[in-house]
Amino acid sequence: MTEPTTNQAALRDRIAAAIREAACVGDCGKTEEECRAERIQPFVWHHGRLAVVEGTPEQFADVVLAAVLSAVGARQDETAATETAALSPAERTMLTYALDQAQEHIWSRDGFTDEDQAAVDSLRRLTMEQPAIRARQDGAQR
């Protein structure tokens, strides 16, 4: 577990990087007017690094929102992976057994809702190894 302050600093860096990436470096192929209307503009470079940008509040809001939602998604994947890793093989086996039983009841009896089915499906992910999520997280970090 990382400290909240570390997460905040990492998120801040991620948002700043996303804003830098969103700034057009002149390769969008649009007119200056079109580009200015759609994209954040570079304003000052300092030692080869974009230091000051210019744009509308909505342009910044879109970039920050996308970065935050991406970070939240990665965090949820991380939480799911941590929960899965916390289960011993015996616990995983018993959880699978219990979920199979629950699934049989849902299929064979009335009175269960879509929400009940969603709960079983959601819990089912705890019984699976999730190497795909690990790989996606590694790929997401730049």
Contacting positions for Zn ion (CB under 5 A): 24, 28, 35
Q: At closest approach, how far in Å is the CB of 65 from Zn ion?
A: 21
In the bound state with Zn ion, the residue whose beta carbon lies nearer, of 28 and 52, is: 28
Q: At closest approach, how far in Å is the CB of 35 from Zn ion?
A: 3
Measured over the CA atoms of residue 28, residue 32, residue 37 and residue 40, the dihedral's sign is positive
In the bound state with Zn ion, the residue whose beta carbon lies nearer, of 25 and 94, is: 25
Within 10 Å of residue 75's Cβ, how many Cβ atoms?
13
In the bound state with Zn ion, the residue whose beta carbon lies nearer, of 9 and 28, is: 28
Q: At closest approach, how far in Å is the CB of 26 from Zn ion?
A: 6
